[in-house]
């Protein structure tokens, strides 16, 4: 594929990913804050996301296989369409918003999100030649970083829309905007992008290299560690313990994710890729170890006598900012390595398997977030998070050396 066409397709894929991510982030914040307002407990709120994460595990595994057989353009467009349906399902009167309905809509949203993400990440492998590893890292980092920055904007958007127009109008408005994006993508996205030349067999879903398996295991614990404190525990803590309103809670979570996304975008520069250095096993191990240390220190500080009312807010915010910076570099490094390790023909099989592990980690983290917060508060969530990240570092040491 020539450079001009590759850049145009990359821009379209990124635009689709951005539009989807805005609605995904806003919907998550809408559900957490709206149902907390209705009196749901942290564990009950976490349960609302159970199918979102559970179906993400299945979707990544089967979606990679589907993308290799029918093309990544089709799996991306299916994801956009399903998100429109999920949003429309929630645009009903408040008394109709039963737990089964919300969980069903979240299930569709989980399928949609992981089809969209798997398609976007896999497609980049098709747009960059094998010799351009530096360029591959930059494109992956830019896509991932900008996506996470916009997810942060989505968090703020969700909190703002809930305060301004309410739950029903918010999801209806997002459904209309995303439907327009979906129609444009149907027309403009290249046909058969990422379609494997040799039709993969179903058994190939689990036939992975040691590098793919090790990186997938590391990713599982990395994202489980983040979601243990981020998904339910933190927004509920900010609302109930610090008495923050929707604007403050949504604004902080948005700012945190936006900053995390910006750091991801600059990860190639921070890791020396611009000077020709391609990061591998050692970088993955060292940055995971640094993140474990940051989390341990934050958990310990929150348990000390300093963690009293006048100090808890600056301690928490400062610690989470440092966590976000180091986590962003870890995440960007993993995102590059999976695309680099993946086979060229049928890339979505390897990327889908990897993001299946990512979704499984998020599922475990989401459930633990509600449970651990009820058992021991935010500090307990951070202690368990530190244990997960330590496992990430240990597993990362088993990755192959970068060639």
DSSP-assigned letters across all residues of 150-189: HHHHHHHHHHHHHHHT-HHHHHHHHHHHHHHHHHHHHHHS
**Which range has the worst mean pLDDT, 58-62, 95-99, 162-166, 271-275?**
271-275
Rg of the chain's alpha carbons, rounded to an integer?
20
Quick: pLDDT tens for 203-238.
Answer: 666 656 788 889 999 999 999 999 998 888 888 888
Quick: pLDDT tens for 116-155.
Answer: 877 777 777 666 665 666 677 777 777 777 777 788 788 8
What is d(CA 115, CA 206) in angstroms, rounded to the nearest whole number?
A: 18
**Which range has the worst mean pLDDT, 51-55, 76-80, 162-166?**
51-55
Q: What does the pLDDT average to over 85-110?
A: 85
Q: Is the pLDDT of residue 331 over 60?
A: yes
What is d(CA 403, CA 120) in angstroms, rounded to the nearest whole number?
A: 25
Which segment, 61-70, 140-149, 276-285, 355-364, is predicted with the most confidence on average? 355-364
Share of the chain above pLDDT 90, in %: 18
Share of the chain above pLDDT 70, in %: 84
Report residue 169 as tokens: 């109008």
Which segment, 56-65, 153-162, 196-205, 222-231, is predicted with the most confidence on average? 222-231
Which segment, 35-44, 61-70, 73-82, is predicted with the most confidence on average? 73-82
Quick one: pLDDT at residue 267? 78
Report residue 314 as tokens: 């600056």
**Which range has the worst mean pLDDT, 44-53, 133-142, 200-209, 310-319?**
200-209
- Whole-model pTM: value is 0.74
What count of other Cβ atoms lies within 10 Å of the Cβ of residue 180? 11
Report residue 260 as tokens: 């995390």
Assign 3-state DSSP to the chain and report helix, strand, coil percentages, each to 5: 85, 0, 15
Q: Is 166 left (phi over 0), alpha (psi -120 to 50) or beta?
A: left
């Amino acid at each position: 594929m020539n450079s001009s066409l590759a850049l145009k397709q990359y821009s379209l894929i990124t635009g689709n990913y951005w539009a989807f991510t805005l609605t995904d982030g806003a919907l998550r914040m809408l559900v957490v804050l709206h149902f907390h307002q209705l009196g749901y407990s942290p564990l009950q709120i976490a349960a609302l996301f159970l199918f979102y994460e559970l179906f993400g595990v299945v979707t990544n595994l089967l979606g990679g296989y589907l993308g290799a057989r029918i093309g990544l353009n089709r799996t991306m467009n299916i994801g956009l369409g399903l998100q429109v349906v999920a949003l429309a399902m929630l645009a009903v009167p408040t008394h109709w918003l039963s737990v089964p309905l919300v969980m069903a809509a979240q299930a569709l949203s989980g399928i949609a999100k992981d089809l969209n993400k798997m398609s976007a990440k896999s497609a980049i492998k098709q747009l960059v030649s094998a010799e351009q590893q530096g360029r591959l890292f930059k494109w992956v980092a830019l896509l991932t970083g900008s996506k996470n920055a916009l997810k942060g904007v989505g968090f703020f958007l969700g909190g703002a829309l809930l305060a301004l127009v309410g739950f029903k109008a918010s999801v209806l408005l997002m459904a209309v905007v995303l439907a327009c994006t979906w129609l444009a993508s149907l027309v403009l996205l290249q046909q058969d992008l990422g379609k494997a030349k040799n039709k993969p067999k179903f058994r190939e879903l689990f036939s992975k290299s040691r590098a793919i398996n090790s990186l997938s295991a590391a990713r599982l614990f990395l994202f489980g560690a983040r979601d243990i404190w981020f998904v339910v525990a933190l927004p509920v803590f900010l609302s109930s313990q610090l008495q923050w309103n929707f604007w403050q809670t949504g604004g902080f979570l948005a700012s945190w994710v936006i900053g995390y996304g910006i750091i991801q975008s600059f990860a190639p520069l921070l890791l020396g890729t611009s000077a020709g250095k391609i990061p591998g096993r050692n970088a993955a191990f060292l940055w995971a170890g640094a993140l474990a240390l940051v989390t341990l220190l934050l958990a310990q500080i929150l348990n000390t006598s300093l963690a009293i009312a006048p100090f808890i807010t600056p301690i928490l915010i400062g610690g989470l900012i440092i966590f976000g910076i180091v986590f962003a570099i870890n995440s960007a490094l993993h995102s590059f390595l999976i695309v680099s390790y993946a086979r060229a023909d049928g890339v979505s099989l390897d990327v889908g398997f990897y993001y299946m592990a990512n979704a499984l980690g998020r599922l475990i983290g989401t459930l633990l977030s509600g449970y651990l917060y009820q058992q021991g508060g935010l500090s307990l969530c951070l202690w368990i998070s530190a244990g997960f990240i330590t496992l990430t570092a240990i597993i990362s040491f088993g990755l192959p050396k970068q060639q």
